[in-house]
Amino acid sequence: MAKVTGPLLSIEARGKIADAIVFFPWKGLHVVRQWLKPTNPASTTQGYVRAAMKAIGKAIKQIVSVSGGGALDSKVYTLATSNVPAGLNWNAWLGQGFLNLLQSGNTFVQGSLTDLIDGFSSLNTTDYAAWGTNATVLGMSDFAFGYGYTTNIEAGCQLYFLALGCYHNSMLASAPYNTDPVSWVVSDIDAFKTDMVATD
């Protein structure tokens, strides 16, 4: 049942009426839309998308969760907030920089996620270890998604995905952000981790 404040003046309404329409607040507005029964097909492709989103989300979270949420003025945060296009949140923009790599036109390509993970796994031993070490220092951990892409996604790979997002968003015209993270060396990876937690 919908709950309304000032029903004749339509000041505020929340909830659904039958299975027809839903009233709810959104970004300070009072909106109404058709009620749709939520579906969760748990398809393989959906699993790949959710695994990719979880991976980039876990990496982005480290920018704001280090030192009890006190990294809001870290270099990565500052760069993201100063470069984000109007109408987007900084964290969504960073994620979008990575997720765009997984699409062909408007279609998600399962193999693109696998290709990026394989590319990470084939880095030279020293650089591969540096991604993992820095991710561990940030408090990140491996995970495996329940369906779709169910192979373990390492913490270092998640951090690598964030670096890809920064690079593809052209966040900064200086090293290491102006080069593809596949070619980053240990000092670049260390600097990126520091930029996530240290003030500019």
Mean pLDDT to the nearest integer, 92-107: 92
3-state SS class at 46: helix
pLDDT the model gives residue 154: 97
Please give the sequence-ordered ranges of beta strands (E in DSSP) within 10-97, or none if there are none: 12-17, 21-26, 29-34
**What is the SS3 string spanning 102-142?**
HEECCEECHHHHHHHHHHHHCCCHHHHHHHHHHHHHCCCCC
Average confidence score pLDDT of the chain? 88
pLDDT 10s digits, 147-165? 999 999 999 999 999 999 9
Higher pLDDT, 40 or 3: 40
Percent of the chain with pLDDT over 70: 90
What letter would DSSP give residue 75?
H
The two tokens of residue 138 are 């940030």
Q: How many helices (H) and strands (E) does the chain have?
A: 7, 6
Judged against a pLDDT cut of 70, whether residue 4 lies above it is answered with no
> What value, to the nearest 5°, has the Cα angle with vertex 90 and ends 87 and 91?
120
Q: Is the peptide bond before 41 cis (omega within 30 degrees of 0)?
A: no
pLDDT 10s digits, 20-43? 888 888 877 878 889 888 888 889
- Spell out the domain ranges in the chain: 3-34, 44-197
